[in-house]
Amino acid sequence: MRKNRKRGFTLIELMTVVIIVGILASVAVPLYRGQVKRAMAAEGVALVGSVRTAERVYYAEHGEYLPVENGGGSNDPLGIDTTGNKYFKTYSVTAIGNTFKATTTATIEGYGTISVSIDQDGKLEYSGI
């Protein structure tokens, strides 16, 4: 004779799985958000890298760095077009003597403000990451 066999999971087994998945999600979500923020900042790094290159070319031609208050777009004094950028659209350059510092900042909904700076030696600085 065959006895009735119970098939399936008990409530305790299901609750254990739900708790484990919840713990894994609570650890994974902040890590994911941090990686997304770093990926967004990569666009800013590319922009200030282009600004650094353009400033070095300008310095080679004119013997000084060009200060820029609101660079980017089609009328950029260094010729850098930022219309294809999603987050970092403008930049500024502070030039004093033989040194300069280029900075770009983006305020991204849900992630806050991210700022990326570079100097004439290529030293990068981040804030908001």
Whole-prediction pTM: 0.77
pLDDT of residue 1: 54
Pair of tokens at residue 2: 């065959």
Residue 45 tokens read as 């790094």
Give pLDDT tens digits for 1-10.
Answer: 556 667 788 9
For the stretch 45-73, pLDDT in tens is 999 999 999 999 999 999 999 999 888 87
> CATH for 11-127?
3.30.700
Cβ(54)–Cβ(76) below 8 Å: no
Please state the φ and ψ torsions of residue 3, each to the nearest 5 degrees: -95, 155
Q: How many C-beta atoms surround the C-beta of residue 89 within 10 A?
A: 17
- The rounded distance, in Å, linking the Cα atoms of 87 and 107 is 8
Predicted local distance difference test score (pLDDT) of residue 42: 94
Q: Are 108 and 88 in contact (CB under 8 A)?
A: no
Could you read off the pLDDT of 11-36 as tens digits, one per residue? 999 999 999 999 999 999 999 998 99
The rounded distance, in Å, linking the Cα atoms of 24 and 56 is 48
Domain boundaries, the chain: 11-127
